[in-house]
Amino acid sequence: MSTTNADQLLALKQEAANAVVDVNEPTVKLVIFALSDRFFAFRGEFVKEVLPGDERLFYVPGMPSSVQGVINVRGDIESVILLNALLHLHEPEKVVSGSILLAKASGMRSGIRVDELLDVADLPLSQLQHPPESLPEALRPYVAALVDFSGKPIALLDIEKVFVDYQAGLG
């Protein structure tokens, strides 16, 4: 065990105390996920449920390829869509079941398939940063903020804008 002096010890304790998160700071709940080698999040208030990706899916003809089909969630029939085309992300080379985020926004609801659910976390609002200019053009309309989570840059998506544009025929 190494020795120290009281001043150093008190200074260290003061640093540690300053590092404690202010519990009164407003936080935002984020549902963080991976999609096509990138990391995204939705605000938790818009994600009603996270379903396993291997839910039985029923193909429905007469739909664009971004509509995977429908699932039966305790008697409610929900669509399952892919956001790869809307966000200009490459299509998955192999079938990844991942997870299905059941989202509701702007009067619409749908399942959204993601490659992997990473976390559901409460983060201080102050950690949200404006999206940088360097963000790919296709993502700009949909990224409301950037946040660092465990060293990963997470793009917080505006789910309302996503649904409105998807309904309008984009993606």
Partner 1 sequence: MITRPDLNQLSLPLVLIYQSQHILALESRWVLGCHAFNGGQRMTLQNAAGIRYLHFCGDVEFIELPAPQLHPLPALMFARKTWSAVKALVEYRGQFFVLLDALLLEEDLNGNFVI
Interface residues with partner 1 (CB under 8 A)?
58, 60-64, 66-67, 70, 72, 77-79, 81, 107-110, 163, 166-169
143 vs 155: CA distance, rounded Å: 6
- Enumerate the β-bridge partners of residue 112: 81, 101
In the complex, minimum distance from the CB of residue 56 to partner 1, in angstroms, rounded to a whole number: 9
Q: Which two tokens stand for residue 154?
A: 């997470």
Least distance from C-beta 111 to partner 1, angstroms?
Answer: 9
Shortest CB 158 distance to partner 1, Å: 16
Q: How far is the CB of 60 from partner 1 (least distance, A)?
A: 6
Contact predicate 24/39, CB 8 Å: no
Which CB, 26 or 75, lies closer to partner 1? 75
Report the C-alpha gap between 165 and 9 in whole angstroms. Answer: 56
Query: What minimum distance in Å lies between the beta carbon of 57 and partner 1?
Result: 10
Nearer to partner 1, 67 or 135 (CB): 67
Is residue 49 a contact partner of residue 102, using CB atoms and an 8 Å limit?
yes
Residue 128 · residue 70 · CB < 8 Å: no
- Nearer CB in complex with partner 1: 32/113: 113
As given in the structure block, the two tokens for residue 69 are 């089909």
- Check if the beta carbon of residue 143 is closer than 8 Å to that of residue 123: no
CB nearer partner 1, residue 37 or residue 76: 76
Of 29 and 48, CB closest to partner 1: 48
